[in-house]
Each structure stands twice: as C-alpha cells, then as structure tokens.
C-alpha cells in the first residue's frame, strides 16, 4: 500500500484537522499507532509543520468523512498522477542537527532494549559499531553527559522499525534458549545413560567374581592322619628274635634259666 510523501507531516495535519483514530492515521501514513499517539501528545515530531493530504492530491474530503463515521474503516490513497519511486533501503541519513544526539539514542536502546545487537543498533540510529561499543562499555568520551533519549522521538527511526528489531531480537534469544535447553537435556540423558551402564557393569562384575573364584580354587583331598611310630622295645620283639640275640650274647633267657635249674634238680 502506498503512503504519503511526508508521513509524519501528514499525520500531524490529520491529528489537528480530523477526528480519525490513531490506528487509521497510522495505517494510512505507514507509522506505528504508538508513534501517532506520541505525535498527538507532543512527544514525537516536535516542530514539524502539518502537510495537507487533500491539497497534495493524496486524499479526498469524502474519504476522510467516510472513515470518521466508520472507526474500522481505512483511508485509501488516491492514485498519484506521477510515478513516485520508493526510496530503497540503504545507509540511514541522519541530519546534522541530530547527529550529536546519536550517543543519547544509543544509550536509550542499550538501557531499555539490551537484547538488540550492535548491528541492529547501528541500523536503527545510523551509526558505526565502534560508537555503539564505546557507549556500551562506557568508554565514550562524553559518557558522563549522556542522557538516554528515545530514537523515535529524535526522528532517527520509526516505531515500526524499532518494534521489528525488538521482535527479531526476541526471536533470536528464544532460539538460543531452545538450543541451550536441548543441549542440556541431551547432556543429562547421556550422563544418565553412562551412569546406568557403569552400574550395570559393576553389578555384573560383582556377580561374576565369586563364581570365578570358586572355579579357580582346586579341590584339596583330605589327608590321612599320621600316627606317631613308637620305637620297638625288647618286650615287643618276638621271642625267637630275643632268644637268638641273647644266645649270641651268651646270656640265658629267663625261660631257659628256669628250665636249666629244673634239670639240675
């Protein structure tokens, strides 16, 4: 949908000269509803002179009257008589009078939207990364005098651009948190699986140890009891052996002596 050549100036005129709602004006001018409300409150587009869309052949009075009666209606822009080329996206130009407020706008973005990356801040404010880094780490030469100011109110970006950047940063953080959560869950599962495997291995080792010990130990046969051998005495010797020994020694045995004494008598 085409938008007026000067959106903020057109929004100023519509706020001052019509009873249209903020949503209707924002939709026609390509602005955010909060930005239009800021213009109505005098916080945004301060000093901008209103631009009549009727005189510039962008709207008709009938179209304005129709939307004033229907709060849900949307303004339809007239077909331009000449072909207006939209400005292509490129490096953002900041007027000389606003360049001194860049550090203030950067400080505001860092304070209220810390999720924005340096590249996003650079794109919104139209500055360089070293400037953003110096403001972020408080090494900027004018750090004590910085006063955070809304870049939308300074005219450095639109509320739509700011909201789009914030939503993109929020989605990026959400994806990062999801990746970290999945990685943590995966690490926990791997740790639990390793613990269960270690416990199972320990249980198998404990069960197998007694069986292996019993298999490796040889069976010992019972040894017969050894009886002490006593030396034989003369009484235990057989009579023949004793008699033979005594005969050789020339000693008579008691039996032979008694026999000899009986024969003599």
pTM score? 0.49
- Count other Cβ atoms within 10 Å, centred on residue 148: 16
What is the four-CA torsion angle of 190, 196, 199, 205, rounded to 10 degrees?
A: -90
**Which residues fall within 8 angstroms of residue 190, CB to CB, at 6 or more apart?**
none
d(CA 199, CA 222): 42
What is the residue extent of each domain of the chain? Answer: 7-69, 98-205
Nearest to 56 by CA among 2, 1, 4: 4
Q: What is the mean pLDDT of the chain?
A: 80
- Residue 237: per-residue pLDDT: 47
d(CA 14, CA 20): 7
What tens-digit pLDDT sequence spans the chain (265 residues)?
678 888 889 999 999 999 999 999 999 998 888 989 999 988 887 778 899 999 888 899 999 999 999 988 899 888 766 655 555 555 566 777 778 899 999 999 999 999 999 999 999 998 999 999 999 999 999 999 999 999 988 888 888 889 899 999 999 999 999 999 999 999 999 999 999 999 988 888 888 766 656 555 555 555 555 554 555 554 554 555 556 666 666 655 555 554 444 444 4
């Amino acid at each position: 949908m085409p938008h007026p050549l000067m959106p903020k100036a057109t929004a100023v005129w519509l706020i001052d000269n019509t009873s249209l709602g903020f949503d209707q004006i924002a939709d026609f001018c390509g602005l955010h509803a909060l930005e239009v409300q800021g213009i109505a409150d005098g916080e945004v587009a301060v000093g901008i002179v209103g631009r009549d869309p009727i005189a510039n052949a962008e709207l008709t009075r009938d179209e304005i009257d129709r939307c004033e009666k229907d709060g849900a209606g949307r303004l339809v822009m007239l077909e331009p008589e000449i072909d207006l080329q939209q400005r292509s996206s490129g490096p953002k130009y900041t007027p000389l009078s606003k360049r001194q407020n860049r550090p203030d706008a950067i400080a505001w973005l860092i304070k209220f939207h810390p999720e924005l990356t340096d590249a996003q801040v650079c794109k919104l404010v139209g500055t360089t990364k070293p400037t953003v880094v110096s403001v972020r780490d408080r090494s900027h030469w004018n750090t004590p005098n910085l006063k955070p100011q809304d870049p939308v109110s300074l005219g450095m970006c639109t509320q739509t651009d700011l909201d789009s950047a914030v939503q993109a940063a929020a989605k990026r953080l959400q994806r990062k948190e999801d990746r970290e959560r999945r990685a943590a869950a995966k690490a926990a599962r791997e740790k639990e699986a390793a613990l269960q495997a270690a416990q199972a291995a320990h249980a198998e080792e404990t069960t197998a140890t007694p069986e292996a010990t019993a298999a490796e130990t040889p069976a010992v046969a019972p040894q017969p009891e050894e009886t002490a051998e006593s030396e034989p005495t003369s009484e235990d010797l057989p009579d023949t052996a004793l008699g033979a020994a005594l005969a050789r020694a020339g000693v008579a045995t008691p039996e032979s002596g008694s026999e000899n004494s009986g024969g003599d008598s």
